Structure 1
Amino acid sequence: MDRRRMLGIAAGVVSSAVAGELIQAGFNAVLAGQPAEDEWRERVAQYGRDYMAVGANVLQTRLASDLVVMQQQLETPVMWAIAARTLAIYGKTTADPAEAIRWYNLAVTAADRSGDLDTRVWVRGRAAIALAYEGAELSTAQGYADAAIGLAERPSIGRLNALMARAHVAAGRGNVAGAVSADEDARRVFDRVASPDAEVSDTAVPPWRMATFRSMLYARLGVVDAGDAAQAEADRLRPASLARFATHIELHRGLMMARSGDRAGGVAYARKAMAALPADKRSQTLGLLLREVERVGPGCSRDLAVEGATDVESPAPR
């Protein structure tokens, strides 16, 4: 895919309300002098850190502005790799899974254009865990995960994300044995590539974040002991500043309550947790998790498939 076609796809999913501002920002940035590759690399690293604490709407505006400028510098493999990671983060700020997938596919294309194996694996793994954790578009999540795992056997954060995505896809389809097996595979990789406790970034998976992935997995499966243990670990290790991720754990607790038979109590617990988080700190993911709790129905403790998970075929990731 050439740069012009790539930009055409991107333009199709950017709101017309902000198009003028973005174009103006792009021209102003060019007139002021384009950033060097090292500066872009640091900006993207900062976006990874900001993602953990900044609300989706605020971050999306900043990302969109930089992407307009960045696309004018896609002349080296390094810049394609930087663009790929930026596009993947942008996908996480969008309003729904279908829109996110369009950005993830664009990120995959940019990653492949870069030729950088680590970036190719990471982008696919990140897209996979994003969708699977949300219980959304499970077939597409599976495709991203399988592609990431097939690209390289070397342990990496991208491979870890892909394996955890496999676990969540299996849970969403009611495959308990498959979910537990994939979780065990992911934990073996995690033991080799875990990020430091102090590293707070969307590109990192320190112990508290791994515990968050596993908390949601076992809440979906209805395995209370494993879920409780993961939630306690996440709360114990997570930096106090990450209020949004504390809310994730509270929603997991609400889901476990609902799946254990106390649907009304679980829904009330989850709604209270969401209401306590300032609106500018919320994300698409939290909204989807809350709706999952609200959709739990009678007999859910015997039916381990994720309520409301969409398994609609979408454009296949490569």
Structure 2
Amino acid sequence: MPLGALVKDLREGLGYSQARLADLLCASAAHSTVTRETVSRWEHGTRCPGPFWLRHLAAVLEVPLELLEDAKLNRRRFLTNAAATAIAPVVASDLIHSGFTSALAASRPGLDEWKDRLATYGRDYMSLGAAEIQRRLSQDLLVLQQQLESPGMWDVAAKLMTLYGKTFPGSDGARAANWYRIAAEAADRSGDDGTRVWVRGRAAIALGYEGAGLGMAELFASQAMAISDKPSLGLLNAVMGRAHVAALRGDSRGALQLLQEGRRVFDVVGSEEQTSDYAVPWWRMNVFVSLLGARLGDERVAASAHGQAREELPASLPRFATHLEMHRGLMMAKAGDLHGGTIHAESALNTLPPEKHSLTLRLLMSEIRGTGH
């Protein structure tokens, strides 16, 4: 996506006019001036912001600077080029070997086999560490890119790339956001509105829950809700992602209104499947709400959701029990006991084996320590 189009999407996702964005940029830059006409030229591609304005655009639009710098290069890529910049933990020779082995094979995985792998990844993500998922997914994505010949294959690719993006924290430069953007493009190529909504909604709740890349979280949520208002897990993720963005921006009323909307959607589409990243059962909905309540400093909402999540959380998913205890630590910090809340969260994190730690938990720990600063 060219820089101008990205700036326009982010601006509209935040509900800003071109004039409003110009005013915010002027306030951010203090002694420098930019006009509505300048913003318009940036968006239409007739002018390009320099490094100074890119920094202020990133601050005002609430996205990583690297995301705008990458869009400025306007590099066209799907899996191959993105993998070249994002796959650090994987040895290159292993990837090359996997790619050529697949190309030389007499038969490649069919759509049904890819769907089975998709389901397996959804289950494994709930219990395995991010590094292990990233290593395996890197190889499968390299193979899958050779088979993007049908809408069904684009559908699988979009969902796998969304999961792959979740192995990078939203605050890790532009890596997570770039993968979510590519996944959204792949979803569009699938031609399936349900997939288009799901990919964007999953990106929104991932970024919103992490508390990183709020501008991108808002953009993905807005896009998902604009594509279809039909109740779905994708729409539920989008609404709850937007609720977390509102809470982190200090909009308590907006966050609670979105929570009510999320609950209405959940009542229609809540999952029976208990242990997949592609599902939102009752306990997981309450994990979302538990953190939201803690961020709002609303002990009633947080405590109720915490208890209901604990009641139905599968024993095979200890990482999510850690999430819940860290939410309690955040609630304590929000209530004024920063030391006690930090100790409680650290203790919960330390009881989880290091290989089970997720990038999201580390970001949550940073949020708790930074409460009140």
- Contact 1:118 1:158 (C-alpha < 8 Å) held by counterparts: yes
Partner of 1:310: none
Q: Partner of 1:75: helix, strand, or coil?
A: coil
Q: How does 1:1-318 map to 2 (within 5 A)?
A: 6-15=79-88, 18-32=91-105, 33-97=107-171, 98-196=174-272, 198-297=273-372
Q: Partner of 2:91: helix, strand, or coil?
A: helix
- Contact 2:170 2:213 (C-alpha < 8 Å) held by counterparts: no
Distance 2:278 2:338 in 1: 35
Residues 3/115 of structure 1: CA separation in 2 closer, same or farther (3 Å cut): farther
Give how far 1:10 is off: 3.0
Distance 1:164 1:259 in 2: 21
Q: Partner of 2:250: helix, strand, or coil?
A: coil
Partner of 1:311: none
After superposing on structure 2, the runs of 4+ consecutive aligned residues of structure 1 that deviate more than 6 Å are 1-4
Residues 15/78 of structure 1: CA separation in 2 closer, same or farther (3 Å cut): same
Deviations along 1:61-118, whole A, 9 cap, x unmatched? 0111100100000011100110000000001112443311111111011111111111
Partner of 1:315: none
Q: Partner of 2:348: helix, strand, or coil?
A: helix
Give how far 1:145 is off: 0.2
Residues 4/248 of structure 1: CA separation in 2 closer, same or farther (3 Å cut): closer
Structure 2: 5+ residue runs without aligned partners? 1-73
Deviations along 1:124-177, whole A, 9 cap, x unmatched? 000000000111111110000000000001100000000001110110110010
Q: Partner of 1:111: helix, strand, or coil?
A: helix
- Contact 1:96 1:284 (C-alpha < 8 Å) held by counterparts: no
Q: Partner of 2:208: helix, strand, or coil?
A: helix
- Contact 1:3 1:74 (C-alpha < 8 Å) held by counterparts: no
Distance 2:207 2:78 in 1: 25
Q: Partner of 1:144: helix, strand, or coil?
A: helix
Distance 1:4 1:227 in 2: 42
Which amino acid is 2:362 matched to?
G
Q: RMSD across aligned C-alpha pairs, in angstroms?
A: 1.7
State the structure with more CA Rg.
Answer: 2
Q: Which has the higher contact order (CA 8 A, sep 6+)?
A: 1
- Contact 2:90 2:135 (C-alpha < 8 Å) held by counterparts: no
Which amino acid is 2:294 matched to?
A
Partner of 2:9: none
Distance 1:291 1:7 in 2: 33
Q: Which moved more, 1:259-268 or 1:1-10?
A: 1-10
Residues 164/96 of structure 1: CA separation in 2 closer, same or farther (3 Å cut): closer
Give how far 1:20 is off: 1.9
Distance 2:371 2:118 in 1: 38
- Contact 2:333 2:368 (C-alpha < 8 Å) held by counterparts: yes
Report how many residues are paired: 297
| Identity between Structure 1 and Structure 2 (%) | 52
Give how far 1:2 is off: 11
Distance 2:114 2:168 in 1: 22
Residues 2/152 of structure 1: CA separation in 2 closer, same or farther (3 Å cut): farther
Residues 124/178 of structure 1: CA separation in 2 closer, same or farther (3 Å cut): same
TM-score normalised by structure 1 residue count: 0.90
Give how far 1:194 is off: 0.4
Give how far 1:4 is off: 6.2
- Contact 1:122 1:158 (C-alpha < 8 Å) held by counterparts: yes
Residues 225/17 of structure 1: CA separation in 2 closer, same or farther (3 Å cut): closer
Residues 96/151 of structure 1: CA separation in 2 closer, same or farther (3 Å cut): closer
Give how far 1:248 is off: 0.5
Deviations along 1:222-264, whole A, 9 cap, x unmatched? 0001100100001001101101111100110000011111110
Which amino acid is 1:83 matched to?
A
Distance 2:139 2:288 in 1: 31
TM-score normalised by structure 2 residue count: 0.77
